[in-house]
Structure 1
């Protein structure tokens, strides 16, 4: 070889260095993909502990002859014998009752919600702004408190309404402890969910089609039937399915109203099996699986119905829905709205306040309540100064704050991975985050109980596990709220900061978070309010030192201390009202600044 040839070879050698082998190249790509997906994998692991593992334990327990024990994840031998319980008259009766409760309360809620939404959004009735408040007001009264209030109003022996009827000489008795009573209470307190969905649909509706029907000679009734109703039909059906699912899985109202009447629903049947001595945990798990499957089916139906709302028309120009003239019905419709307000808010709160202020726990006539010194604030003050209430109040606020902070943070990170990164885990994260929407809270509570008995993290018996339960149950609401806000913000704003030299983390902190502050704050407040009301998932997780306000109300009522339960309920609603006012002011200030 010549010297020149050798030089050319030595100069070319750096450019023709041997490439890594195929296995090494694949390994390098794998490490790069792992680094890109690290955050998504961490989020997925957290969601697995919150959602997947608890549901997996419930499913395994349903087909096992034992339940998880501390230090032992083995569930024993697999068996189908637990499913035999589903064929018993008690289980079948609970299933039929749940279906009837869901259908009946959905019908009542839909009628009330549709009426209030139409009057508020599309009619010329007076006091429409107050009617909007009426449509939302029952949401600030926990369903448990509403059920307790109506038990005080319509208990067959000592209900205030029945006492008044006897004093008036009217031979009639209202018995709230019945299946119709359960349907009635759930219907009036879940009507706001239908109202909000329908009000949004009716407010966004294009009035041009209605105007065209009127121009072509269609009377008002025909226009409403052939144009307005079809356009609102997806929202109507979606509202009905949503309320059906929510009321079918409701535990507190079914326990307070249905239990005295011997009316079991699937959630109360699960609670009774878990509370038996000894506990029938495997049978309870089998019932929980059936309830979850039923709710998942209903949720799928609801999503398909809501997806059909795409045909609802709305113009790009300023859309102003047509006001339907009610003529002589203007004031009667407003009076009907006020009647609903009286039934859902005024009467229940008066009943709770009266029961908490009675000098004696027993009332035989309305005249007794009008006597001197028959009512006082002594019981309220006694409860307010008691250690039980103060501890429960402190626990409730701490749990709500921890759940709100951690739930909002988790929702943001999960949403960011899904919509702002190319991580392959994004779709799976979204699926897992939305799963609790189709899982009854009481089922989630059972799964979390077993999960944290097995995991080597000692949070069982502390407030932390109650906060974990709130995050797990309400994660879909928080995730949806944050995701909606994130999708409204253009990613170019964050990318511009990165191009100007800022790191990705700093860009998120300095650009994305400030621009999303309204949506993030809304999700935080939603977590806070929902956590203050939570009972179903916490019913298996609390101890005597970690009771929250909802548990304190439930315990007092369950132990026959109606007056104490009423007093705690009044203060409970007062706390929620204060939080709602603060939330409204903070939300208003945030929107003004944005």
Structure 2
């Protein structure tokens, strides 16, 4: 009789088992730790340096971060009359421009989504076209149009024997210009809400005898409230933190907002950087408080109206108002695009920077193409345009890749600490651009890497500032593709990296391309973030436009603005073509 002897492995000691698990946990935590380190340098460190500077008596310098000279003296500026008036102005401008932009964008959204207005396709285009004209270019054009003495509208009025008609350099003018160029945000959000809304409740109200106006007030608008509030808060935040429009329109009228006040503190001699940091914290707090209020209001009710049934939205007949609605849309198009571009073109074509008569310029043949020729052959403009394209393409590419990696870790893995990556990625939404730019300046001055003064620091800054948009775009894309396809490839022997590169990424080609194009357009339009980071050799075309206007070189600023708009339009055109090709593949 034979007996089988079984070989037994020696039992693993509890300490060894714990060590193995601990080693696996450490290995799994390495990749999130690397991502946290990247986001810390991009986002957390700049914000932390702004906060630190607000409580110290000297700003961060290379080789020296002051942790001993803690003080609250900087906040005396916050409670001083200058900051107080700037804060009041910012709130007035934010509320006023938000309300006006909501009225404009909401009106265009409603008539194009739910009515029988004439030329509906054209009016939809009208709602979007101001997005191709950066707000500071629009502000520059309206400064040319509406200046109290040398504004083209007032010069034309004098030609016709009329009194002065316009003065744009006041708080009303600032609200007007900001509303013109932020109304498209309201248009897009509200139009989407109205287009997806279930018609059942509206139809029920009509059956029970409600008039069209009552249905609109009691059913349609309340159901669209989340979109309206979301658009209002977004526009409020963007206008409160807007620097270039406030500087172009407000500075001429002696009007400060918090961003322009921060800029003045930084550019004073000597620089009052620590006080600027304290004021910057005030601006961040305003943004956070308003955002929290909006979330609280929306969370109190359910607004879900989209169902799985096919929906046929009711069309509201405008009756006699069809033509006036079209005229209102054309008026907005004229004010936001036609007049500004015509003003920039007229200033560029005029043979002298001094314009005494609009009518006389045409009658006396005082228009020429010389300034266009000079601008297009200018080394400064050509180099700035090339810098802008390089920085925008690189920032969009790096930003899309980084956003995809982070959103993949957050949405598709069980790696430790993944949730925090999403929160950090969204943090720049709560930090105004001028504050983030200030923090990025100090970050890359103290970092032991020689990137300050190069295009690389601008690329890094744009990636940091646009991380929320990139992360949102990549996350929404990943959530649309089920994980089973990728997991099946892994089960059949493919590595996770190979499954992602061969299955997930190709399936996300269209949305990731859209994210890249969004970041590209945002980078081309950006002015505030690089304001403290550029040097003589790294000027972007937006910086050239702003500097020329600030220095009184109005004709070249106008000509460069037109070149800038053409570049943005070309990029948008090719973006649309690429997007269309991707969708057809």
> CA offsets, 1:533-580, max 9 Å, x none?
111110000000000011000000010111110000000000000000
Structure 2 residue 388 is the aligned partner of structure 1 residue 391: no
Structure 2 residue 146 is the aligned partner of structure 1 residue 154: yes
Matched residue, 1:362 = 354
Query: In structure 2, what is the Cα distance between the partners aligned to 1:298 and 1:491?
Result: 37
Matched residue, 1:565 = 557
Query: In structure 1, what is the Cα distance between the partners aligned to 2:345 and 2:68?
Result: 51
Structure 2 residue 47 is the aligned partner of structure 1 residue 55: yes
How far apart are 1:308 and its partner, in Å? 6.6
Contact in 2 for aligned 1:69/1:450 (Cα 8 Å): yes
> Could you list the runs of 5+ residues in structure 1 that have no partner in the other structure?
none
Matched residue, 2:13 = 20
Matched residue, 2:204 = 212
Matched residue, 2:567 = 575
Query: What SS class does the counterpart of residue 209 from structure 2 fall into?
Result: coil
1:445-594 → structure 2 map (5 Å cutoff) = 445-593=437-585
Matched residue, 2:195 = 203
How far apart are 1:20 and its partner, in Å? 2.4
Contact in 2 for aligned 1:39/1:417 (Cα 8 Å): no
How far apart are 1:581 and its partner, in Å? 0.3
Contact in 2 for aligned 1:176/1:182 (Cα 8 Å): yes
How far apart are 1:306 and its partner, in Å? 5.6
Query: In structure 2, what is the Cα distance between the partners aligned to 1:530 and 1:316?
Result: 35
Query: In structure 2, what is the Cα distance between the partners aligned to 1:310 and 1:476?
Result: 26
Q: Which moved more, 1:246-255 or 1:202-211?
A: 202-211
Query: In structure 2, what is the Cα distance between the partners aligned to 1:567 and 1:247?
Result: 26
Structure 2 residue 173 is the aligned partner of structure 1 residue 181: yes
Matched residue, 1:328 = 320
TM-score, with normalisation over the residues of structure 2? 0.97
Q: For the structure 1 residues 532 and 310, does the alpha-carbon distance in structure 2 shift closer, same or farther, using more than 3 Å as the test?
A: farther
Contact in 2 for aligned 1:238/1:306 (Cα 8 Å): no
How far apart are 1:130 and its partner, in Å? 1.3
> Could you list the runs of 5+ residues in structure 2 that have no partner in the other structure?
none
Query: In structure 2, what is the Cα distance between the partners aligned to 1:80 and 1:288?
Result: 15
Contact in 2 for aligned 1:235/1:309 (Cα 8 Å): no
> CA offsets, 1:307-358, max 9 Å, x none?
6785230221221221111011111101111110000011000001111111
Structure 2 residue 371 is the aligned partner of structure 1 residue 379: yes
Matched residue, 1:166 = 158
> CA offsets, 1:80-115, max 9 Å, x none?
111111111101000000000000000110000110
> CA offsets, 1:40-92, max 9 Å, x none?
22111111101001100110000001111112223441111111111111010
Q: For the structure 1 residues 359 and 441, does the alpha-carbon distance in structure 2 shift closer, same or farther, using more than 3 Å as the test?
A: same
Query: In structure 2, what is the Cα distance between the partners aligned to 1:117 and 1:506?
Result: 44
Structure 2 residue 73 is the aligned partner of structure 1 residue 81: yes
Structure 2 residue 414 is the aligned partner of structure 1 residue 418: no
How far apart are 1:13 and its partner, in Å? 7.1
Query: In structure 2, what is the Cα distance between the partners aligned to 1:26 and 1:176?
Result: 71
Query: What SS class does the counterpart of residue 264 from structure 1 fall into?
Result: coil
Query: In structure 2, what is the Cα distance between the partners aligned to 1:351 and 1:589?
Result: 36
Query: In structure 2, what is the Cα distance between the partners aligned to 1:18 and 1:38?
Result: 30
When the two chains are superposed, the root-mean-square deviation of aligned CA atoms in Å is 1.5
Matched residue, 2:134 = 142
Contact in 1 for aligned 2:265/2:273 (Cα 8 Å): yes
> CA offsets, 1:464-487, max 9 Å, x none?
111111111111011101111111
Query: In structure 1, what is the Cα distance between the partners aligned to 2:145 and 2:206?
Result: 47
Query: In structure 2, what is the Cα distance between the partners aligned to 1:160 and 1:504?
Result: 63
Contact in 1 for aligned 2:226/2:303 (Cα 8 Å): no
Q: Which moved more, 1:553-562 or 1:166-175?
A: 166-175
How far apart are 1:294 and its partner, in Å? 1.4
> CA offsets, 1:388-423, max 9 Å, x none?
001000100000011001000010000000001001
Q: For the structure 1 residues 503 and 397, does the alpha-carbon distance in structure 2 shift closer, same or farther, using more than 3 Å as the test?
A: same
Matched residue, 1:349 = 341
How far apart are 1:515 and its partner, in Å? 0.5
Matched residue, 2:229 = 237
Contact in 2 for aligned 1:65/1:76 (Cα 8 Å): no
> CA offsets, 1:9-50, max 9 Å, x none?
xx56734x242243x433322221122232222111111101
Query: In structure 2, what is the Cα distance between the partners aligned to 1:305 and 1:284?
Result: 32
> CA offsets, 1:425-452, max 9 Å, x none?
2210000000000100110011111111
